[in-house]
Structure 1
Amino acid sequence: MRRNEIHEGSVIRRLNLLNSDEISTLLNLQRLAYTFEANLIGFYDIPTLKDTIQSLQSCNETFYGYLRKSELCGAISYTKQADVIDICRLVVHPKNFREGIGRALLEYLLSTECDATRFIVSTGQKNTPAVKLYEQYGFKIKSTTEISHDVFIVHFERKII
């Protein structure tokens, strides 16, 4: 898959968190993805694993989903304050890993929010696929936080000049 392309029969669109089927599917996808990350980094107290339908609906994030033949395969969410985009979640269904879905969602956000001057995101230091993805798109490590014994979160920033 080349840059800015998605698979045939796929679409990236804004998710409707008031639609009960859509939000239930998103919550299930998020749990699968963050359970995988928890196993990867050895930390199971990830706040997004505790989300409910109500907490997703009230989080004030904008969600976009990657749908293939109407099946939700991945999602990205963010908040925007002035010209700063804070990427809150980037999740891909484990069965769809290594298919370019995370990359497509990140590219979509970067191109959609082209008036932003700064993008920020955080991920587990041991989540090598996510760390590499952000670095490939020009994100630089700004800081690292130890959240538990030997468990670190890496904070990235991408400035647009």
Structure 2
Amino acid sequence: MDWFRQGIASALLDFVIKQEPSVREIIATTGSRNAPAVRFYERHGFYATERIQTREEIELTTFVKEI
């Protein structure tokens, strides 16, 4: 997995934020047990707002970043 830890997700997030300067909030959801994704969102200023349990017994966490 050569693409991990290369800054691609951070660059994509920065690009999206710059494309829509009128947006004041970004919402993202990931698996609660997906530690790399959780760390990514927290490192980029997102905070957890909700945990959701699916019928398949997968827990999801919703993150919000105010811009």
TM-score by length of 2: 0.83
Counterpart check, 1:127 vs 2:37:
no
- Give the C-alpha shift of residue 154 in structure 1: 0.5
Which structure has the larger Rg?
A: 1
| Over 4 Å off, 4+ runs | none
Which fold has the larger relative contact order, with Cα–Cα distance below 8 Å and residues 6 or more apart in sequence?
A: 2
- 1:116 pairs with one of 19, 23, 35: 23
Q: Indicate the residue corresponding to 1:103 in structure 2.
A: 10
- 1:139 pairs with one of 38, 46, 49: 46
Structure 2: tracts of 5 or more residues without a match: none
Q: CA offsets, 1:60-104, max 9 Å, x none?
A: xxxxxxxxxxxxxxxxxxxxxxxxxxxxxxxxxx33111111111
Structure 1: tracts of 5 or more residues without a match: 1-93
TM-score by length of 1: 0.38
Q: How many corresponding residue pairs?
A: 66
Root-mean-square deviation over aligned CA pairs = 1.3
Kindly, what percent of the aligned residue pairs are identical? 32
